[in-house]
Amino acid sequence: MKVIRSQSAGFCWGVERAIDIAAKFANEGRHPVYTDGPLIHNKQMMDKLTQKGIREVGDYQSTTAVEVSHNEEDEPIMVVRAHGISPERRKYLKGLDMEFRDATCPDVGIIAGKIRMHAKKDFSTVIFGDPKHPEVMGLMGYTEGKGHVIQSTEDIDELPKMEKVCLVSQSTMFTHEFAELSNHLKIEYPEAVVIDTICGATKERQTGVVELASGGAEAIVVIGGKHSANTRKLALLAQQQKLPTYHIETWDDLDVEEIKHFETVGVTAGASTPDFIIDDVCKKLEAI
């Protein structure tokens, strides 16, 4: 079987940076290294990190109290994952009796900064994204109580009357949907400030899926966590190319009897998928 591997598949730089920060402390003998929620959306990689002494505490949305247990002689450290957190959560974590290290993706940090700057100028913030995603929940904390999350034109139509409006996006959304929603928002708010905050890595992965389809792929395999927002977006985009799409976490999830009927298969992966999993899938596909 011929396998076309997207050049943008796998870890984005923000996720890789967060892993490097946590792993550096663990490798230096700092134990335990706590992370506020899962450091990345990949069970296999989290298992490897756990073996290094990196422990997930709290919850996925960074809302529950943190329960930790370590010896008095330990030097624990709390690491914030790439998704980022709200100012309130930051204050809470910094109040714990341990060192605090922020591994928020700089791209997400830029979004938070833009929201904060406009909120100080009395803007209401509209965020295109999933209201239950930890990135969006964290960003809402910078809106000074004047934030609204939207996912459709209907959501925009139901927004309360606002004076000044700033529109941003969760970093992993579809670019064409953001453009459509920004145009719709400007019907009611022609002076709205629209800031495209979809990150470069997301755009590269979305472009990569389209290139797989145009490059001869008869089917597309998307590798990544079932709960990963950016991976689910890639799988949906692949389906929109009118090609058979297989969203898997590892090789074991793939229906080999079905996939073997294709001669050329495209492979991409979400931003939290490590290379060792992508390599394994590609190698086994090529062996068919």
Three-state secondary structure readout of the chain: CEEEECCCCCCCHHHHHHHHHHHHHHHCCCCCEEEECCCCCCHHHHHHHHHCCEEEECCCCCCCCCCCCCCCCCCCEEEECCCCCCHHHHHHHHCCCCEEEECCCHHHHHHHHHHHHHHHCCCEEEEECCCCCHHHHHHHCCCCCCEEEECCHHHHHCCCCCCCEEEEECCCCCHHHHHHHHHHHHHHCCCCEECCCCCHHHHHHHHHHHHHHHCCCCEEEEECCCCCHHHHHHHHHHHHCCCCEEEECCHHHCCHHHHCCCCEEEEEECCCCCHHHHHHHHHHHHCC
CA distance 230 to 276: 19
| Topology match between the domains 2-10+200-286 and 107-194 | yes
Instruction: Give the other-Cβ count within 10 Å of 20's Cβ.
Output: 12
CA distance 142 to 52: 34
Q: Looking at residue 184, what is its pLDDT?
A: 98
Residue 32: asked if its preceding bond is cis (omega within 30°), the reply is: yes
Q: Which residue has the tokens 């969006």?
A: 136
13-105 topology per CATH: Rossmann fold (3.40.50)
CA distance 257 to 225: 22
Q: Where are the domains of the chain?
A: 2-10+200-286, 13-105, 107-194
Instruction: Give the active site residues.
Output: 135
Q: Which residues have CB under 8 Å from 225's CB, separation 6+?
A: 41, 42, 43, 231, 249, 270, 272, 273
Q: Looking at residue 135, what is its pLDDT?
A: 96
CATH code of domain 2-10+200-286: 3.40.1010.20
Q: Looking at residue 285, what is its pLDDT?
A: 97
Q: Looking at residue 273, what is its pLDDT?
A: 93
Q: Looking at residue 246, what is its pLDDT?
A: 97
CA 129, 118, 186, 178 dihedral sign is negative
Q: Looking at residue 31, what is its pLDDT?
A: 82
Q: Quick one: which of 170, 198, 200 has its CA closest to 13?
A: 200
Q: Looking at residue 109, what is its pLDDT?
A: 97
Q: Which segments in the chain show pLDDT lower than 70? A: none
Choosing among 3.90.550.10, 1.10.600.10, 3.40.1010.20, 3.40.605.10, the CATH entry for 107-194 is 3.40.1010.20
Q: Looking at residue 225, what is its pLDDT?
A: 87
Q: What percent of the chain has pLDDT over 90?
A: 85
pTM, two decimals, is 0.91
Q: Which residues have CB under 8 Å from 29's CB, separation 6+?
A: none
Residue 152, amino acid: S
Separation in Å, CA 38 to CA 20, 49, 143, 276: 14, 10, 25, 19
